[in-house]
Amino acid sequence: MRFLLGLIFALSVIGNTRVIHAQGPTILEIADAIHQHRERVEKEIVEDFIELLSLPNVATSLPDMQKNAEHIHKLLEPRGFEVRTLRSGGAPYVFAELVTPGAEKTILVYAHFDGQPVQSENWAYPPFSPTLLSAPLQNGGRPLDIANINSGSFDPEWRIYARSAGDDKMPIIAIIHMLDALRANNIDLSVNLKLILDGEEERGSPTLGQVIDDNPHLFDADLLLFCDGPMHQSRQPQLVFGVRGGRTLDVTTYGANRPLHSGHYGNWAPNPIMSMAYLLTSMRDETGRILIDGYYDNVTALTEKEITSIAEMPNIEEQLRDELSVNTPEGAGNRIEELVTLPALNARGITGGGVGDQGRNKILSESTVSLNLRLVPGQQPERIRQLIEGHVERQGFFIVHDEPTDEILRSNAKVVKLDWRGEGGPGLRTPMDGPMAQRLIQIIEEMTPNLILTPSMGGGLPLTAFADRMDTPIIVLPLANHDNNQHGENENLRLQNLWDAMAVYGVVLATFGRN
């Protein structure tokens, strides 16, 4: 064994039960042991990852998601997990538990194994035929033949391209091979380990709450570690203590009950695209600030510690502006890390006629925009609905929630349909100064001194399903590369992020429960 433990494990043997004491290998020794083991089996790790990524996993296809769940069972059971599939009317969830004799703490790890729908024609390589490239696509990466690569020869900057490579099958592979590495070095877990692997996160985890309600004691834990999302753009390690909630609203404005020639009827017929434009600009200004009365009233202010943590984060504004070719960001000059702790109202798609070669000289009957509402702690989804509907009414619109009849169109100057999609959820933030949070911060800071503490990420995760039902502190541990193209074409994972995930998981699970 290449790694020699510098300390003698302080383990008392009582019968066949090993009781964990405070002593053991140091954090850096554990990380080094994992990396050295990984170098010897890199090819096996990548092959396991490719096999998992090869399974189509759009959550709406229940047969595909069942195949994924069965495959994950086969990965976990040989590592000693007690594994079961949980369901409550939707896609499967995989729950797994690994009991550590003598452990007094339990960590519950969340990840998901479903992915966003794909449009294969937009991908450089088929999304469910994982491809290892020598560099990012935009940097001229070329395909590599894994059969000709030996363990220890994998460049950490190589990338695997496939749906769910970055979001979010990687934690599954990292955890199983981390356990192999610890066992190869006779390093014990210091905690009981539970996994909840979500098969429908990309659909909003609609049955997760019921799954928890049906199995309440399965989810008892001292810490819930959410392993999803991209890490900081600086590539420095990061802990995130909150997420924004969200609601989706589709807004449709109307003109005449049939399309009209824009020459014959222009300047007379109501134009639903222009009506939509006026309505949208009444709702937010060009800096992104929401103009709806009362929208910010219940927003929970950042604590001094959270404000300080933002100030101490690496400033990536110039990097992002250059990388993304943005001259003037929204936000009136505020940092992105502060902006994502505020509510947002974003248009995620709009329909209304054609453009370019598809343009026609007509005034359409309707136009629809889909709004993505990002909510923060203190904001309640139903209250946000009331505020938006009140604002729309003050703009002179008659609100319907189903398709309007001709009589409704004749009787009202402006008609709008508001289609609220799903119930949504509020934002959530875990205090940074809680004992579990402080323990986790201490461990990771000892492993790597450049830890970034982030009050909230901009995206949403199904945290409230847990937070509404249990008091366990929830912390997000993002480990995918920030440029992984999640949800889009050519999603990818940088190999170094997989290697680092193995080390982080191993260090946390081997030391968190020490006295």
Kindly state the helix (H) or strand (E) to which residue 85 belongs, with its residue range.
strand 82-86
pLDDT at 510: 98
Confidence of residue 341 (pLDDT cuts 50, 70, 90): very high
**Total-model pTM:** 0.85
Q: Return all residues near 368 (Cβ < 8 A) that are at least 6 apart.
A: 250, 251, 252, 253, 350, 351, 352
pLDDT at 6: 37
**For the chain, what are the domain ranges?**
11-118+163-229+461-511, 246-299+342-425
Provide mean pLDDT across the span 490-498: 98
Tell which CATH classification among 3.30.70.360, 1.10.1740.10, 1.10.10.60, 3.40.50.300 matches the domain 246-299+342-425. 3.30.70.360
Check: CB of residue 421 under 8 Å from CB of residue 250. Answer: yes
pLDDT tens-digit profile of 18-71?
Answer: 333 346 899 999 999 999 999 999 999 999 999 999 999 998 999 999 999 999
Provide mean pLDDT across the span 335-339: 92
pLDDT at 7: 34
Q: Do domains 11-118+163-229+461-511 and 246-299+342-425 have the same CATH topology?
A: no
Share of the chain above pLDDT 90, in %: 86
DSSP reduced 3-state for 84:
strand
Q: Mean pLDDT score of the chain, rounded to an integer?
A: 92
Measured CA distances, 196 to 201, 328, 374, 469, 500 (Å): 12, 41, 25, 15, 21
Check: CB of residue 69 under 8 Å from CB of residue 94. Answer: yes
**Residue where the block lists tokens 């019921």:** 210
Does the domain made of 11-118+163-229+461-511 have the CATH classification 3.40.630.10?
Answer: yes
pLDDT tens-digit profile of 349-397?
Answer: 999 988 888 888 999 999 999 999 999 999 999 999 999 999 999 999 9
